[in-house]
Amino acid sequence: MIPREQLIETAKSVYRSYGFSPIDTPALEYTEILTGKGGTESDKQMFRFTQGKRDVAMRFDLTVPFARFAAQNIGELGTPFKRYHVGTVWRGERPQKGRYREFVQCDFDTIGTTSNSADIETLFIIHDLMVKIGFSDFTIHINNRKILNGLLESLDLQSRSAEVLRALDKLPKIGADAVIKEMLEQGNLTQQQAEKVISLTTLEGSTADILNSLEKQLVGNECGEQGVAYLREVFDAVDKAGIVSERIILDPSIARGLDYYTGTIYETFLNQLPGIGSVCSGGRYDNLAELFTTQKLPGVGASLGLDRLLAAMQELNLLDEVSTPAPILVTQMDAKYTSDYLRLARDLRMYGFNVEVYPDTSSIKKQFKYANRHGFKIVIVAGDEEFEKQDWQVKDMQTGTQTAVRKEELLELIRRVLA
Amino acid sequence: MIPREQLIETAKSVYRSYGFSPIDTPALEYTEILTGKGGTESDKQMFRFTQGKRDVAMRFDLTVPFARFAAQNIGELGTPFKRYHVGTVWRGERPQKGRYREFVQCDFDTIGTTSNSADIETLFIIHDLMVKIGFSDFTIHINNRKILNGLLESLDLQSRSAEVLRALDKLPKIGADAVIKEMLEQGNLTQQQAEKVISLTTLEGSTADILNSLEKQLVGNECGEQGVAYLREVFDAVDKAGIVSERIILDPSIARGLDYYTGTIYETFLNQLPGIGSVCSGGRYDNLAELFTTQKLPGVGASLGLDRLLAAMQELNLLDEVSTPAPILVTQMDAKYTSDYLRLARDLRMYGFNVEVYPDTSSIKKQFKYANRHGFKIVIVAGDEEFEKQDWQVKDMQTGTQTAVRKEELLELIRRVLA
């Protein structure tokens, strides 16, 4: 829970630094709000029941409640509206590694604007999130759905986009030949059409090269050309922002399954752990709340994969293996000094240190065992002798060194040990 | 949500500064875990249903899940164990002002020790919470149940403690005479016994005076004497800690209803709004998890009344009436400068400012309307003219002053305006 909470607070502070406001919605929604909005799979997995006369269910994601919330409140909130939402969701599926019946989602979205500026900012936020969490070796893959849509348009295949997307999603797993085969069989594409789709989505080279090739392949198609122009703007902004350019990759192969996305799409990978998949994904959509309101609410956003990130951080040894949020433990040698121990701890807290006071005068051995078990970095000890000399014994738990210092030297010593 | 989230983060940071670890438990528990643990009232209010073969319910408080959690995990966690838990709970009651079907509780507890040191620290935490949240004019009322228990023991009335507590809880509302009457009628006390209870619980004067009077009245009764000794230790520690002494009041009249509490008890009042009741309450108990384990888990803790505090802060005008977590808005005059606007915002974020960039190039009038509506303190504007001169126009939204500055002077100006 300690790293989990840190991660959530980091994410929130990044969202806030970009001017996103927190929202919350109830855990329970009327069932009719939730059913059919996430597909039949979600319906089956809902925790649903009746309470009095109300047919209710626990939310299975934060998107549907956000759509309902936006439809009801956007008149008062006004647009553009930027919100983040860190909340628990529930799915009655079989628990397995990294998948639980109850889990937390961390979403952020900008709605009420079609401007590419919001798409660029979404990319920046994902980037800053990763850096602030503590990663440096990651890549954010971006693409724009307008490119594929433009191609399908020019091939007169708009009606086959669901089948094409479904096949393309399997590209990294099954390879180009199998994807072509599926597009032929499931989507009724011709061999030539399928090859064009594959050729466009498997372009490689520098960003500039890929952009130029895309432009050439899509020339004359407005939708596709706009997609390329938007991507150019994104990379110009990345350049101007001074973001490490290797971290942002133009990847025409990412499609993000659902028809829902219509513009920029994002996936984030840890270079050391590509196998765990994208840890932060999202994209632009044309209409958030079409099921609940006639007002069109276009937007762009992404979702941080909290559980995946924590699993990755554990695997990469990025988590401090402690079970206390305080690095300093003040022990209690003698009950007659309890007020002094408590006072010392308060004084250290004033300087921003988290400090725990062992709550009773158990044997000093037991108190040190407690300190070891929880991973305290510093243990402070004082009995009659120390109080007489006005000293505090400070033990550095990593080196084992114990030093007696006056109170006025204590801060400096603590800062040195914790540094 | 903005002040709500700030309040929760403040509370968590105070808990952590005392070495408390976060825990979380699922929203759903097996119904048998929850039923009968909070009284029949809680049972009636539970959101209960079956999922597959499981009879489950949504937690109605954080104490019962904590007891279950502690019983299952204390062997691995070890004692003492200090945890805080900020979590949503659900009660199917009729919603009314300040009472909702879904609300958040903020609890902290130290379990596994009977030491008075933990009681003192609990008081310090409540004090620091109030100060960090932004209150200065508050009082924490404390008492020790051992005093009343000692008196009842010496009057041979232990078996009547529930009735006596129930009557005493009404003291501020119905007055001493009515409480005496109730103790006579409901508790079968004699007039003399009831008067002794009232005399002890309505003592007034300085802390030292009250402690001396209590000591005199309880002389020879071990339990009562210990209660007085513990309270003396609390006030000694308050004194040594340098806490404003007027903030901590010895109040022999507070009883906190339930039999559950057995030692120090706490209630916290805002001096300007006594009517809203205690905003942070708690106490010491003998056994947290007796329903789930034979291991005895004594502890002490308290709970912050989040919704009450927010209502109070609103009434006292302590809430900043803004609907953005960012004080600075960078507007967009011209789409060809989008990368520059985004870059400026990123640079300001590096210095710790929360900065929003208006997501598109709507009319500048519309962007200023947005800024006013959400309460931005500073609006930054730049078009062709400014980019040519390398200036940024900075508008102080409170004074209306607009100043053109170079980028290198921007930070200083922003700091001055926000100060």
Q: Provide, as residue numbers in chain B, all residues whose Cβ is less than 8 Å from the Cβ of A9.
A: 9
In order of their start, the domains of chain A are 2-137+271-315 (3.30.930.10), 328-418 (3.40.50.800)
From its phi and psi, is residue A390 left (phi > 0), alpha (psi between -120 and 50) or beta? left
Contact in structure between B268 and B130 (CB atoms under 8 Å)? yes
For chain A, what is the radius of gyration of the CA atoms?
27
Averaged pLDDT, A396-410: 95
Averaged pLDDT, B30-43: 76
Tally helices (H) and strands (E) across chain B. 16, 16
Which of B1, B58, B121 lies closest to A21 in CB terms? B1
Which stretch of A95-99, A150-154, A155-159, B212-216 has the lowest confidence by average pLDDT? A95-99
A110: nearest CA in chain B?
B359
Give the three-class secondary structure for B212: helix
ipTM of the complex: 0.92
For chain B, what is the radius of gyration of the CA atoms?
27
Question: Are the beta carbons of A102 and B26 separated by less than 8 Å?
Answer: yes
Looking at the complex, report in whole angstroms how far the Cα of residue A89 sits from the nearest Cα belonging to chain B: 10
Question: Are the beta carbons of A329 and B237 separated by less than 8 Å?
Answer: no
Per-residue pLDDT at B41 exceeds 80: no
Exposed (0-12), middle (13-18) or buried (19+): which is A238, by Cβ within 10 Å?
A: buried
- Count of residues for chain B? 419
Q: In what order do the strands lie in the sheet with A328-330?
A: A355-357, A328-330, A378-381, A391-396, A402-406
What's the confidence (pLDDT) of residue B321?
82
Question: Are the beta carbons of A115 and B360 separated by less than 8 Å?
Answer: yes
pLDDT in tens, A241-260: 999 999 999 999 998 877 78
Which of A88, A117, A124 lies closest to B332 in CB terms? A117
Identify the residue among A54, A73, A356 best suited for mutation to test binding to B, counting B beta carbons within 10 A and taking the highest. Answer: A356
What's the confidence (pLDDT) of residue B51?
83
What's the confidence (pLDDT) of residue B57?
94
Per-residue pLDDT at B29 exceeds 90: yes
Q: Please give the Cα distance from B125 to B325 (Å, whole number).
A: 27
Choice between B305 and A98, residue whose per-residue pLDDT is larger: B305
Identify the residue among B342, B347, B361, B366 best suited for mutation to test binding to A, counting A beta carbons within 10 A and taking the highest. Answer: B342
Q: Please give the Cα distance from B54 to B56 (Å, whole number).
A: 6
Which stretch of A255-264, B162-171, B365-374 has the lowest confidence by average pLDDT? A255-264
What's the confidence (pLDDT) of residue B239?
96
A82: nearest CA in chain B?
B324
B346: nearest CA in chain A?
A241
pLDDT band at B45 (very low <50, low <70, confident <90, very high): confident
Give the tokens for residue B43: 């049972």
Per-residue pLDDT at B42 exceeds 80: no
**Could you tell me whether strands B378-381 and B138-144 are parallel, antiparallel, or unpaired per DSSP bridges?**
unpaired
What's the confidence (pLDDT) of residue A83?
97
pLDDT in tens, B61-94: 999 999 999 999 999 999 999 999 999 999 988 8
Which stretch of A39-48, A203-212, A385-394 has the lowest confidence by average pLDDT? A39-48
Closest by CA to A77, choosing from A302, A289, A304, is: A289
Whole-number average pLDDT of chain A: 93
Which of A9, A110, A355 lies closest to B19 in CB terms? A355
Which of B16, B325, B338 lies closest to A117 in CB terms? B338
pLDDT band at B396 (very low <50, low <70, confident <90, very high): very high
Per-residue pLDDT at B212 exceeds 70: yes
Looking at the complex, report in whole angstroms how far the Cα of residue B241 sits from the nearest Cα belonging to chain A: 5
Averaged pLDDT, A359-376: 96
Question: Are the beta carbons of A359 and B113 separated by less than 8 Å?
Answer: yes
Contact in structure between A300 and A118 (CB atoms under 8 Å)? yes
Give the tokens for residue B48: 């209960």
Local structure of residue A95 (DSSP, 8 states): P
Q: Please give the Cα distance from B95 to A196 (Å, whole number).
A: 60
Choice between A178 and B38, residue whose per-residue pLDDT is larger: A178
Give the tokens for residue B237: 């520690």
pLDDT band at B260 (very low <50, low <70, confident <90, very high): confident
Give the three-class secondary structure for A362: coil
pLDDT in tens, B102-153: 999 999 999 999 999 999 999 999 999 999 999 999 999 999 999 999 999 9
Averaged pLDDT, B362-372: 97
DSSP E strands in A64-137: the ranges are: 81-90, 102-111
Closest by CA to A150, choosing from A114, A197, A202, A189, is: A197
Which stretch of A206-215, B234-243, B264-273, B318-327 has the lowest confidence by average pLDDT? B318-327
Q: Please give the Cα distance from B323 to A192 (Å, whole number).
A: 54
Over pLDDT 90: what percentage of chain A? 85
Looking at the complex, report in whole angstroms how far the Cα of residue B338 sits from the nearest Cα belonging to chain A: 7
Per-residue pLDDT at A68 exceeds 70: yes
pLDDT in tens, A74-96: 999 999 999 999 999 999 888 87
Looking at the complex, report in whole angstroms how far the Cα of residue A298 sits from the nearest Cα belonging to chain B: 13
The DSSP line for A42-68 is HHHH--EEEETTEEEEE-S-SHHHHHH
The Cα-based distances of A210 to A147, A249, A272, B39, B79 in angstroms read 12, 11, 25, 68, 60
Per-residue pLDDT at A324 exceeds 70: yes
What's the confidence (pLDDT) of residue B36?
66
What's the confidence (pLDDT) of residue A405?
96
Indicate the annotated binding residues of A.
Answer: 61-63, 91, 105, 109, 256, 260-261
Per-residue pLDDT at A53 exceeds 90: no
